Amino acid sequence: MFDALAERLEDAWKKLRGQNKISQSNIQDALQEVRRALLEADVNLQVVKTFVAEVEQKALGAEVISGVNPGQQFIKIVYDELVKVMGESNVPLAQADKPPTVILMAGLQGTGKTTATAKLALYLRKQNQTCLMVATDVYRPAAIDQLITLGQQIDVPVFEMGSDADPVEIARAGVEKAKEMGVDTVLIDTAGRLQIDRDMMAELARIKATVNPHDTLLVVDAMTGQEAANLTRTFQEQIGITGAILTKLDGDTRGGAALSVRQVSGQPIKFVGVGEKVEALQPFYPDRMASRILNMGDVLTLVEKAQEQIDIADVEKMQSKILEAKFDFNDFLKQMRLLKNMGSLGGLLKMIPGFSKLSGADIEKGETELKRTEAMINSMTTEERANPDLLAKSPSRRRRIARGSGYEESDVTKLVSNFTRMRNMMQQMGRGGMPAMPGMPGMGGMGGMFGGMGGQTPPPGFRGYAGGSSKPKKKKEKKKKGFGTL
Ligand SMILES: Nc1nc2c(ncn2[C@@H]2O[C@H](COP(=O)(O)OP(=O)(O)OP(=O)(O)O)[C@@H](O)[C@H]2O)c(=O)[nH]1
């Protein structure tokens, strides 16, 4: 995400590197890059102008800190300004003095409104709040069913009156129902249109006037770009919003929407959608978004995501298994599934500094490797998974797994050899007193398993395998004798 913007800014501060003073003349190039980057990222023109003017003023007024390169100082100014433009952090949902809190969801078709409704309900449920979702989209035939399915998935009830009823009446009855049930929050999903149209806005305005929501959230697809500003303005003027949810930030989107929505509406972005799954919702943190824009990597988000998925007791168990070299393919499979649950590999890698520039092809290769590895492990017997050495010793087992998973025997050999190598390395690290990595067991090790992403050739002990791709190199083999456990 935001790679184009990040690259532009990198160019901008490169131009300041080596200068010992930020001046009207030497800052112009850098400002021009910032301007161009933001426009290319589809930020609204007015937002760009205000932003660049603020940055210029702050940069010129800044004292040059001795020992600090002006380029770095400039980055800090751009960063601080970005954080400011994007508004407050982690703004909570409105809360009614007397329940239920009514939340109205608005937005164009396909922006992720229905999904965001369910994501919010799950988010609230995890905070021990009870919810009811109301399906008022009577125009898109599958919309009601979609909400019902999501409701079943997250165990949240859905109120609907079929597709012949009047949406305003459904919303009103839905809130009544929520009162009757005594739930904490009622979330009203509304119909979208492909573009802003008068009927849709009028209906939304009537729903709003009828249910008096405490929060009216505009759901904006982050890929909307420049249009996000106009869209936000129209909803703000005609409906009046109290916040926004920016969806599809896991995709390859431009940064424009994040900057524009807040600036144009004056209302906070409360949450971001980072995937299709119902769990893929996060509070909005402008500072994290700014460091992402500036290519600093969003490590905090990554750590939080990992913590959500990982059970600490599991981590401790895994660590002692690693230290005792008892880490097996069952543990490995568990880790892979965990990684999958955390979102797409691409999305995860983009949060790690230095990885954000990995090409789509690299990421695709990594994802393919993950799938291939999972297929091979799935073809192993329980005994083989628990005892990887069985596979190291038996070409016939490896052949059977290759047949079962649809891959070559050499692929299975490579998997087993890399696994053993990784396990040995982990064990050696453990013995050497390397600090354990809380929350992220074996992530690095898993990276090493991907043939396409820093993949390794089999260690010497594996070279004798039938189907092994590497030719024996006697000298090296002798030198490294004892490395493999085989
Ligand atoms: N990658 C990604 N996909 C998302 C996200 N949020 C929603 N989607 C997908 O976007 C598509 C549209 O989402 P919906 O929730 O049906 O959109 P909607 O705004 O309710 O659409 P209408 O009901 O037609 O107005 C679906 O395929 C969702 O799975 C997100 O944060 N990331």
The per-residue pLDDT for range 436-454, each reduced to its tens digit, is: 333 333 333 333 333 333 3
Pocket test residue of 1, 115, 219 for ligand 1, highest count of atoms within 8 A of CB? 115
Residues whose beta carbon lies within 6 Å of some atom of ligand 1: 107, 109-115, 137, 140, 143, 192, 247-248, 250-251, 273-276, 280
Contact (Cβ atoms closer than 8 angstroms) between residue 225 and residue 257: yes
Task: Give tens-digit pLDDT for 396-422.
Answer: 999 999 988 888 999 999 888 888 887
The CA 110 to ligand 1 mean position distance, Å, reads 5
Structure tokens at 18: 């080596």
> Is position 117 annotated in a ligand binding site?
no
Q: Spell out the domains of the chain, with CATH numbers in brackets.
A: 3-85 (1.20.120.140), 101-296 (3.40.50.300), 310-479 (1.10.260.30)
pLDDT tens-digit map of 94-110: 999 999 999 999 999 88
Q: Which range is least confidently modeled, 35-39, 217-221, 476-480?
A: 476-480
CA pair distance 79, 24, nearest whole angstrom = 20
Confidence band of 138 (pLDDT split at 50, 70, 90)? very high
Instruction: Judge whether 110 is annotated as a binding position.
Output: yes
Report the pLDDT averaged over residues 219-231: 86
Q: How many CB atoms lie within 10 A of CB 133?
A: 28
397 assigned binding-site residue: no
User: pLDDT per residue over 341-400, tens digit each?
Assistant: 666 666 666 555 455 556 677 777 777 888 888 889 988 988 898 888 899 889 999 999
CA of 274 to the centre of ligand 1 (A): 11
486 is in an annotated binding site: no
DSSP characters over 312-359: HHHHHHHHHHHHTT---HHHHHHHHHHHHHT--HHHHHTTSTTTTT--
Model confidence, pTM: 0.63
What ipTM describes this predicted complex?
0.97
Considering the chain, what percentage of its residues have pLDDT values greater than 70?
Answer: 67
Task: Name the phi and psi angles at 187, rounded to 5.
Answer: -110, 125
Locate the ligand 1 atom nearest the alpha carbon of residue 189 and give its number. 20
